[in-house]
Chain A
Amino acid sequence: MSLWTVMYSAIRRAHILARKRTIVQPSYQHAAPVFDLQRSCHGKLYEMAPANSSKYMPTAKQVFFKSVKYDTSTSGTLLDWQKQSDIDKHMSKDPCRLMTKEPGKQPAEDPCEQFKRMRLKNDPKQCPPSGSAAPDGGDGCNGKDSGDPNKSLKLTCLLGALAAMVAGGLIAWFLASTKNDDNKGAGGGSDGDNNSADAKRGVSGLVTSPDSSEKLPKHVPYLIIGGGTAAFSAFRSIKSNDAKAKVLIVSNEYHKPYMRPPLSKELWYTPNTNEKTNKDYRFKQWAGSERSLFFEPDEFFVDPEKLEESVNGGIAVAQGFSVQKVDAQNHTVTLNDGYKITYDECLIATGCAPKNLPMFRDAAPSVREKVMVYRTPDDFDRLLRYAAEKRSITIVGNGFIGSELACSLAHYSKENDGGKIYQVFQESGNMSKVLPNYLSRWTMAKMKNQGVCVIPNASIKSATRDEESLKLELNNGMTLLSDIVVVCVGCSPNTNLASPSKLEVDRTLGGFVVNAELEARRNLYVAGDASCFYDPLLGRRRVEHHDHSVVSGKLAGENMTGAKKPYVHQSMFWSDLGPEIGYEGIGLADSSLPTVGIFALPSATDARSSTDNLTVNREEDDGSKHTIIVDEKSNSDVVTWDDDAHGEQPDYGRGVIFYLKNEKIVGVLMWNLFSRVGLARTIINQNKKYDDLNEVAKLFEIHS
């Protein structure tokens, strides 16, 4: 075997691998695979890199490639670029014009119609013949849930707590039999949801990995508390800067690190998905390629017991362990069972836990078992089972998770002839914390078009359980029958270990208080949702977004290896609400701030028969090129347009929204505009007053 054979094979592998995960992408992607239509879309979002970054950065492939100049390679590279630019050209010709729905899919009737008739019965359901007698006698159809370990467990747990506790205790005893301290069993989650969670884990066979904390190293150079996106991003960053770093993640979850955004988005668009066929939670990305929810396969990780002796270091994940406190002065972390691990550098990335509503928390067990929050792959599995059984689902909350989930479920329901999807919230429109009111309401109308039965300005007064489902009485007099309620009302940072660790928690924003370098104490950092950091540009903040976890995790990782860098790179966020709405934002996209939105109006040359009232207004005018200010008072119907009167709405199809504070742009939202986050970041970083925001908007090329 010659040298070159080896080189080729190695380089080739490297190339293939690099190509798989590189950021090199044309700015417009091919047809979005998720929906049955084309539109320009987000760039690659799930790489461990700032989203949209470095599109034209050389990849390992190119470097290897360029360096080894074989006769044919040069043309190969050029060809590669050529192909890409062709795609670019091609795509830019018809970027967003195809954003129309398939006519056949337009729901003809108001999705709320049925509901308005105070629907009293559910879609006919059938008990599978195999339905066995469940512990819950109240639910005649309970057999169909017998496949659901969580649920049947919960029933067991709630109605016959004894059995569960005994079982959980037994397992706990097993686990603890080799330990010095009293171990609460498998888990004990930092979110404090303890007994049932422990029992659940114990009974359903979720055991910690390794089986005892004693098998964990007593000292690690890098210790990360929490096993989410920020934790994994920090690991990447640490290992990039310290080649042989040994990193231990202590996570109270029973999964390897995974990303969460697809749980409310892409995963619902994966055809024929279910727990058995899709164990790795694979999904198709906007950019076209498929990937798993998990950042890396199991093989990537080192066994925690072997971390200490590993020559080249690596990452080990202790699954199912909770941390009780951090002693920053003595560089020691104490687990819930009392086991101590010392560290050189430590990162707290505990994330946040979804909130529930008091009315559900305090409700009867029979009600509670039909109420869930949504944050993990297990929650996805559970909800998917309901959706697959064509159950009717009610989502409470109008934020990112609630709205995305409502759209995804409505889509799933439409594809699979499923049950009704309701979304109930107190505000007057979707995403009202982010979108200005007019856009929030426009978005709500679009979501109704997609089949979500949106019920704004309403809250749930009471929830009672009948044979099969929950009866929800709303404060507006409506009654809703639903098989499951998904509470999506935000989450609160997991800061349980703050007080025993004597760490400061921000009183208004929540989260551990850290400085601009994400440092809580010397050698102790906090990243992700749980980090309340100082942004030198925009002030003290806490951000709950995927990209923020990536960005802050990366920064913390760099600082843990000695970089001493402040937070200067603004993270972004994105969301998709069905086929017609996708957006990306950066900075303080807070709808309580004054905003200026600049939207694209079809030009006269466009062969589009827009008949909205704006067109009418235009024609009434004398045709001069002046800007008309339509005042709210003189044209109040614009503000109070009816949700269902589509013909009278302005079309907020595409545009850019600036959020202002002291007249400076502090946030930018790109509405159906993609690949412009870098520009928006530059503008925010200018920290300047602009006299004419329309000129700023020109930079965004909202018509192209």
Chain B
Amino acid sequence: MSFSFCKQFGKDKVIFVTKEDHATPSTIELPAPEPAEGVITKDGNINWSCPCLGGMATGPCGVDFREAFSCFQYSKAEPKGSDCFEAFTKMRDCFQLYPTVYNKANGGIDDDDDDPLADALPVDTSSEVPVKEDQPAESGAPAPPAEVVPSQTSSAVEKAQ
């Protein structure tokens, strides 16, 4: 047996509520959150301010990174990105000049070992044939699985600046 109740301390009001009290959905309706803008904006441009780039666009190899990333993103070649050899080589060469920034940088604990890509990326590259890219313009946010969808605590508005 439980129910909510209030206390009033001068100007400060306190309400204690049970889980059951809050079991019914709220009557408040908030505007639908804007979809989060990812690294690719709605109109297909690259959002270099995206925090998901982890500062790569601002680092000492930022310009090379941008060139490689843009080349890849806008590549119409078959397979996609195959015309970006030069840009990627340049980016890689630059990365090698700054090992503390681009290798162990700030993280440290995340290493190749636990990189899911290590499993996903083919080891023997010669046998791999890149599949044709069927969506030239990435739509930005890949839909996360249903379980991961945030509730109404929309993180999307966080980006609204």
Contact = CB atoms under 8 A, between A and B. Distances in A.
A277 interface: no
Central interface residue in A72, A299, A623, A702, by most chain B CB within 10 Å: A299
B14 A599 contact: yes
Interface in B40-87: 40, 48-60, 62-66, 68-69, 72-73, 79-82, 84-85
Interface string A652-669: 000000000000000000
Contacts of B27: 692, 695
B15 A291 contact: no
Contacts of A56: 36, 141, 144, 148-150, 155
A678 B158 contact: yes
Nearest to B69: A60
A88 B148 contact: yes
A236 to B, nearest CB: 5
Interface in B115-133: 115-117, 119-122, 125-126, 128, 130-133
Nearest to A601: B16
B9 A67 contact: no
Q: Which of B15, B69, B119 has the most CB of A within 10 A?
A: B15
Given A603-B18, A627-B6, A632-B9, A60 B56 contact: yes
A76 B117 contact: yes
Given A56-B141, A554-B161, A597 B55 contact: no
Given A20-B106, A630-B5, A696 B26 contact: yes
Given A70-B128, A568-B160, A599-B17, A81 B154 contact: no
Contact of B49 (A51, A88, A237, A604): A237
A211 interface: no
Nearest to B18: A603
A335 interface: no
B30 A597 contact: no
Contacts of A605: 19
A300 B98 CA distance: 8
Contacts of B153: 675-676, 678-679, 699-701
Interface stretch (A42-50, A194-202, A380-388, A479-487): A42-50
Contacts of A607: none
Nearest to A592: B11
Given A3-B82, A73-B121, A694-B17, A240 B48 contact: yes
A290 to B, nearest CB: 5
Contacts of B53: 18, 59-60
Contacts of A437: 9-10, 12
Given A12-B117, A703-B22, A291 B108 contact: yes
A523 B23 CA distance: 53
B19 A703 contact: yes
Nearest to B154: A678
A235 interface: yes
Interface in B94-123: 95, 98-103, 105-112, 115-117, 119-122
Contact of B120 (A72, A237, A598): A72
A166 B30 CA distance: 67
A686 B145 CA distance: 29
A565 B107 contact: no
A241 interface: yes
B92 A9 contact: yes
A82 B145 contact: yes
Given A19-B115, A69-B131, A703-B22, A677 B158 contact: yes
A299 B145 contact: no
Contact of A57 (B38, B66, B115): B38
A8 interface: yes
A565 B28 CA distance: 30
Given A312-B63, A694-B4, A81 B155 contact: no
Interface residues of A, number: 153
Interface string A351-378: 0000000000000000000000000000
A465 interface: no
Given A12-B121, A67-B80, A239 B58 contact: yes
A174 to B, nearest CB: 31
A244 interface: yes
A627 B4 contact: yes
Given A12-B121, A54-B38, A630-B7, A565 B19 contact: no
Interface in A674-704: 675-679, 681-683, 685-686, 690, 692-703
Interface in A579-610: 593-606
Contacts of B51: 22-23, 47-50, 53-54, 57
Interface string A132-172: 00000000000000000000000000000000000000000
A70 B158 contact: no
B94 to A, nearest CB: 9
A17 B56 contact: yes
Contacts of A76: 116-117, 119-121
Interface in A306-337: 312-314
Given A240-B58, A599-B17, A696-B28, A54 B106 contact: no
Nearest to A302: B60
A509 interface: no
A627 B131 CA distance: 63
A61 B56 CA distance: 12
A10 B68 contact: yes
Please indicate which of the listed interface residues B20, B121, B131 has the most CB atoms of chain A within 10 Å of its own CB: B121
A438 interface: yes
A3 B89 CA distance: 9
A4 B16 contact: no
Nearest to B136: A67
A252 to B, nearest CB: 24
Nearest to B7: A630
Contact of A296 (B18, B55, B84, B151): B55
A639 B14 CA distance: 12
Contacts of A51: 158
A120 interface: no
A88 B11 CA distance: 39
Given A20-B110, A569-B160, A630 B147 contact: no
B148 A58 contact: no
A14 interface: yes
A502 interface: no
B30 to A, nearest CB: 5
Contacts of B89: 6, 10
A628 interface: yes
26 contacts: A4-B126, A10-B88, A17-B56, A17-B102, A20-B105, A24-B52, A50-B161, A53-B158, A58-B52, A63-B39, A66-B138, A70-B130, A89-B147, A236-B55, A237-B49, A244-B63, A291-B106, A312-B64, A437-B10, A569-B158, A596-B13, A618-B3, A677-B158, A681-B157, A696-B26, A698-B24
Given A26-B148, A60-B54, A703-B22, 14 more contacts: A7-B81, A21-B54, A50-B159, A50-B161, A57-B51, A60-B52, A63-B39, A71-B122, A71-B131, A291-B106, A292-B106, A627-B5, A679-B152, A682-B157
